Structure 1
Amino acid sequence: MTERLQDLVTQSVERDPEATALVGGDETMTYGELEAASNRLAHALVDRGVKPGDRVGVLAAKTPATIAALLGVLRAGGAYVPVDSASPAARAARIVRAAEPTVLLADDTATGLVDGLAGEGLDLTVGALGEPLSGERFASAFARADLASLPAEAPATSSPDLAHLLFTSGSTGVPKGVMITHENVLAFVDWAIRHFGTKASDRVSGHPPLHFDLSTFDIYATLAAGAQLHLVPASLGLDARRTAAFIRDHELTQWFSVPSVLTYLARFDAVAENDFPALERLLWCGEVLPTPVLAHWMRRLPHARFTNLYGPTEATIASSYYDVPAVPADESVPVPIGVPCDGESLLVLDDGVPAPVGGIGELYIGGVGLSPGYWRDQEKTDAAFVAGPDGERIYKTGDLARADDDGVVHFLGRTDSQIKSRGYRIELGEVESAVNTVPGVRECAVVGVDTGGFEGTTICCAYSVVEGTELPVAELRKQVTALIPRYMLPARWEALDGLPKNVNGKIDRPALRERFRPAPKEGT
């Protein structure tokens, strides 16, 4: 039985060392090359003082060399901490101080950031994943060329269960480090390979950034199957036609991303009838995919299988799934989040007890995917990971949900997006679903803003439209009026060229709330 993530590569090497493992830009790596590269880096890390359980920071672009570096950290017995190399130095410094890495691994995309970290007073040992790096305040201790003389076999070292720390946004502005274990990831990978039938001939997308937990699925399920991982360059951004061309040209059999990417491709009409003939399955996770967008994709790609995955970082990649059986007949009905993956459980609780069938409650997750908690923060861990009705350990998602007669769970929005406005309790997700059904809307977000008025929280809607479409606020409001009660209508609207996104490609709702927040009055 596989006990560590790096063992997945070793097993694939034993099957076929010459098979292609990684494709990124002009660089490819076979499984044999990946195994040797990760082992050599592991020796370099051990030589620089990395001991079992130590953390190693990774500030680098998504390339084959970087994937090898992640495995090298694990082979050295460490846990890797991926950091967005586009982060401001002050935020990255908070992560580095919290994780206390023994070594930082970086490439030339992160030279400025590493220099900024040194400027924040951090004492760093830096390893370069390519050419030697140097800035005003640092120089790399070793570079890729220095590894060639090191052994291609793994060093003899133990490997504790902590695999990586993923830092997410914290409500106080301090990033939270979610601890993810080898066991957590292996449990999901085992289920996913069986459920999706991943095989050695697959060509899988690697779209999410490495500091986003969805990338964990792409990497380890692909390597476990002995398949090819095609790393999608960040430079594609949300360029719909270039992204479609990538799927087409690389003959991908699986695409996995956040819904905003699928929305852009659909709204810009970048996908032709029966496009992507090699594509067998299309998966999404991270936020709600508007049902009209899903229907568009399903009509264009009748040969593909479509699956909605749901789960927070704290429960490792995803905890539930819903295989969409057919093109939705009613595009105003959101797609369910489905049923638990093997070894997981979904509980809809109302005041701590199971809600009746069809009843609304807060969603909790239990099972094999649960993180041990937040790095060195027992208070936050105890608040989020609680005892369930039967004493089991469960995670408080902060999401509202209901389970239907068939046990299928339906996501209803965030508990913190259920607001009170004009005396009514309103779920903003319902308003957002209504706006998304209006023809011409490319994407939208509905947020609640406390404006200090008598009406309570003000409902605000930002939206963008399909290129070449005119949809003034008055017309959009008129059409939405036909879909939801008048008391649920947004009071403030704003048409934008594009909605702001956070580093994971999701709509940046805090930024929108600030945009709609009224300016302070003079003298206050």
Structure 2
Amino acid sequence: MTRLEDLLTASAERSPGATALLLGSAGDGGEAMTYAELDATTNRIARTLVDRGVRPGDRVGVLAAKTPWTIAALIGTLKAGGVYVPVDSASPAPRVARIVRSAEPTVLLADATATTLIDGLMDEGLEDLPVGSLADPLVGERFTTAFSRGDIEAEAADGLVVGKTSDLAHLLFTSGSTGVPKGVMITHDMVTAFVDWALAHFGTKPGDRISGHPPLHFDLSTFDIYATLAAGAELHLVPASLGLDARKTAAFIRDHELTQWFSVPSVLTYLARFDAVAQDDFPALERLLWCGEVLPTPILAHWMRKLPRVRFTNLYGPTEATIASSYYDVPQVPDDESVPVPIGLPCAGESLVVLEDGRPAATGEIGELYIGGVGLSPGYWRDQEKTDAAFVTGPDGERIYRTGDLARVDEAGVVHFLGRTDSQIKSRGYRIELGEVETAVNTVAGVRECAVVGVDLGGFEGTTICCAYSVAQGAELPVNDMRRAVTGLLPRYMVPAKWLVLDELPKNVNGKIDRPVLRERFRPAPKESE
């Protein structure tokens, strides 16, 4: 295996003048770095960190917008032997403070987007934490920087040699059920194993133009960064300012002549519902990938009809198993748009196991999905109890991760995702998969996006099925019409009892539908005391 920073160095030696990173375009004041420039910048950052006391295994917090210099900060941390901890600089200070206290970074690297946040961290009692600036000037009310971008640029550009492939590369903090974020430990060899598979499977090559859409604290960005650098391709960083503006996002794909687009499904849904993609659009695009949640089959069919030359692949996998553990190359436009897309076959070195009562489920039987193999995390940072609960021993003695997802394996060995174990509810005496209800709702003409959640409203029927949806531009779909349409697709006991029509469904920081927020929207407001 190879350390992640070596992927950059090798490409810089092969093609020093090729473009590695691009934010925006030269005509509108964009930023770019060649492979030689990126390699030199990461070396300077590494030397700066070592000079400031970072030792192998130390954590470095990175609180900055998605720019070439921020990508350099991540890789520079690795070259110093450190472990980077990317943090959403738009998050509230109390949550970030919990992450910082858990990770105990030696230093924070930040840019101007994080100034208010770092001031807030000082208020949370972290005033002794050194802060380095990636973009001068960085001036806060409660802190001063320990070193500046100018100090970094004054360092020598020759590299350092540290570390092993089994070392931690980064900590990715995910939501915790107790309200305390969980730090998933990711090693160099876990990421390089996936990158090796992905390069071979997708055929990524020098000159490819790859999207960098997910935020840096989301594990999908790890694939974008390191697969691109390993291939000697160009990573086109998608500005967060695009948000969910369908037409601007489509223009970005078109204008940058991207050969690969990778994002969560909600982005694809917005582009489709706003009809932002023309027939045979994006002539340079070769492949379109998605991961993170279910892409409604009608949306996929829409894209495949619009872009018949493009290869479409569904990737599946939790953060704890590194980016993705399985893939499904969609062979043709789906015949039946009510059938969800499979999550497919294991990536090289991975295993997907469906267990029922601790034993392998028979073909076609529903069970809980577990993952094993080369992508498996060592566990949660400094939390052995949560690690032991999630990472268990399988029937054949293999260490496996409990995904909490329901699945079945068909006769061809293809795995089908059937929803979360916690999305299986009991309502009116029936056991119901909310994913099946969601699939039905998505097939109704005029639906732009939907989510179905179970909420305990204290009624006699048990958990109440609740559906929130938004309507495609120019369409009208009142609740009565929606209920009537869904009643024609599902048994009456599966039809949602509560409905919300929203202009836009709430999203979390990773762009996924925020189901906990939706559940709260369906709960009745507490009565004011007399």
TM-score class, shorter: over 0.9
Superposed, which structure 2 residues align to 1:160-309 within 5 Å? 161-309=167-315
Following the alignment from structure 1 to structure 2, what is the Cα–Cα distance between the partners of residues 388 and 158?
A: 31
Following the alignment from structure 2 to structure 1, what is the Cα–Cα distance between the partners of residues 243 and 162?
A: 39
Letter in 1 for 2:7: L
Deviation at 1:147, TM superposition (A): 1.8
Number of the residue aligned with 1:480: 486
Deviation at 1:519, TM superposition (A): 2.9
Number of the residue aligned with 2:77: 73
- Does 1:157 find its partner at 2:153? no
Following the alignment from structure 2 to structure 1, what is the Cα–Cα distance between the partners of residues 33 and 214?
A: 20
The superposition leaves residues 497-520 of structure 1 with CA deviations (integer Å, 9 ceiling, x where unpaired) of 010000000000000001101233
Helix, strand or coil: the match of 1:190? helix
- Does 1:31 find its partner at 2:31? no
Number of the residue aligned with 2:141: 136
Following the alignment from structure 1 to structure 2, what is the Cα–Cα distance between the partners of residues 155 and 318?
A: 31
Helix, strand or coil: the match of 1:264? helix
The superposition leaves residues 380-425 of structure 1 with CA deviations (integer Å, 9 ceiling, x where unpaired) of 0000000000111000000000000000000000000000000000
Deviation at 1:83, TM superposition (A): 0.3
Number of the residue aligned with 1:103: 107
Helix, strand or coil: the match of 1:370? coil
The superposition leaves residues 440-485 of structure 1 with CA deviations (integer Å, 9 ceiling, x where unpaired) of 0000000000011110000000000011111000001101111110
Asked if the contact 1:132–1:142 (Cα under 8 Å) also holds between the matched residues in 2, the reply is: no
Number of the residue aligned with 1:55: 59
Runs of 4+ in 1 over 4 A off after TM superposition: 521-524
Asked if the contact 1:132–1:140 (Cα under 8 Å) also holds between the matched residues in 2, the reply is: no
Following the alignment from structure 1 to structure 2, what is the Cα–Cα distance between the partners of residues 395 and 518?
A: 37
- Does 1:44 find its partner at 2:48? yes
Letter in 2 for 1:5: L
- Does 1:88 find its partner at 2:92? yes
Helix, strand or coil: the match of 1:23? strand
Following the alignment from structure 1 to structure 2, what is the Cα–Cα distance between the partners of residues 411 and 166?
A: 24
Letter in 2 for 1:318: A
TM-score for the superposition, normalised by structure 2: 0.98
Following the alignment from structure 1 to structure 2, what is the Cα–Cα distance between the partners of residues 476 and 487?
A: 16
Mean Cα deviation higher: 155-164 or 340-349: 155-164
Number of the residue aligned with 1:434: 440
Compared CA separation, residues 522 and 110, structure 1 to 2 (3 A) = closer
Following the alignment from structure 1 to structure 2, what is the Cα–Cα distance between the partners of residues 137 and 478?
A: 58
Following the alignment from structure 1 to structure 2, what is the Cα–Cα distance between the partners of residues 454 and 149?
A: 70
Following the alignment from structure 2 to structure 1, what is the Cα–Cα distance between the partners of residues 104 and 151?
A: 25
The superposition leaves residues 304-323 of structure 1 with CA deviations (integer Å, 9 ceiling, x where unpaired) of 00000000000000000000
Following the alignment from structure 2 to structure 1, what is the Cα–Cα distance between the partners of residues 105 and 213?
A: 26
Following the alignment from structure 2 to structure 1, what is the Cα–Cα distance between the partners of residues 150 and 528?
A: 60
Following the alignment from structure 1 to structure 2, what is the Cα–Cα distance between the partners of residues 168 and 195?
A: 28
Deviation at 1:521, TM superposition (A): 4.6
Number of the residue aligned with 2:323: 317
Letter in 1 for 2:271: L
Helix, strand or coil: the match of 2:144? coil
Following the alignment from structure 1 to structure 2, what is the Cα–Cα distance between the partners of residues 288 and 485?
A: 22
Helix, strand or coil: the match of 1:374? coil
TM-score for the superposition, normalised by structure 1: 0.99
Letter in 2 for 1:447: V
Deviation at 1:523, TM superposition (A): 5.8
Following the alignment from structure 1 to structure 2, what is the Cα–Cα distance between the partners of residues 158 and 322?
A: 35
Superposed, which structure 2 residues align to 1:346-365 within 5 Å? 346-365=352-371
Following the alignment from structure 2 to structure 1, what is the Cα–Cα distance between the partners of residues 296 and 357?
A: 30
Following the alignment from structure 2 to structure 1, what is the Cα–Cα distance between the partners of residues 334 and 474?
A: 27
Q: 1:147 aligns with which of 146, 152, 174?
A: 152
- Does 1:396 find its partner at 2:402? yes
Letter in 1 for 2:419: G
Following the alignment from structure 1 to structure 2, what is the Cα–Cα distance between the partners of residues 465 and 204?
A: 31
Number of the residue aligned with 1:8: 7
Following the alignment from structure 1 to structure 2, what is the Cα–Cα distance between the partners of residues 35 and 474?
A: 59
Q: 1:335 aligns with which of 337, 341, 358?
A: 341
Number of the residue aligned with 1:120: 124
Letter in 2 for 1:92: V
Letter in 2 for 1:136: E
Letter in 2 for 1:64: P
Letter in 2 for 1:18: G
Following the alignment from structure 1 to structure 2, what is the Cα–Cα distance between the partners of residues 158 and 245?
A: 42
- Does 1:64 find its partner at 2:68? yes
Aligned length: 523
Following the alignment from structure 2 to structure 1, what is the Cα–Cα distance between the partners of residues 161 and 210?
A: 32
Deviation at 1:156, TM superposition (A): 4.2
Following the alignment from structure 2 to structure 1, what is the Cα–Cα distance between the partners of residues 189 and 284?
A: 32
The superposition leaves residues 78-107 of structure 1 with CA deviations (integer Å, 9 ceiling, x where unpaired) of 000000000000000000000000010000
The superposition leaves residues 35-64 of structure 1 with CA deviations (integer Å, 9 ceiling, x where unpaired) of 000000000000110000000000000000
Number of the residue aligned with 2:393: 387
Following the alignment from structure 1 to structure 2, what is the Cα–Cα distance between the partners of residues 488 and 207?
A: 36
Deviation at 1:155, TM superposition (A): 2.6
Helix, strand or coil: the match of 1:373? coil
Following the alignment from structure 1 to structure 2, what is the Cα–Cα distance between the partners of residues 452 and 79?
A: 46
Following the alignment from structure 1 to structure 2, what is the Cα–Cα distance between the partners of residues 86 and 409?
A: 37
Following the alignment from structure 1 to structure 2, what is the Cα–Cα distance between the partners of residues 110 and 385?
A: 35
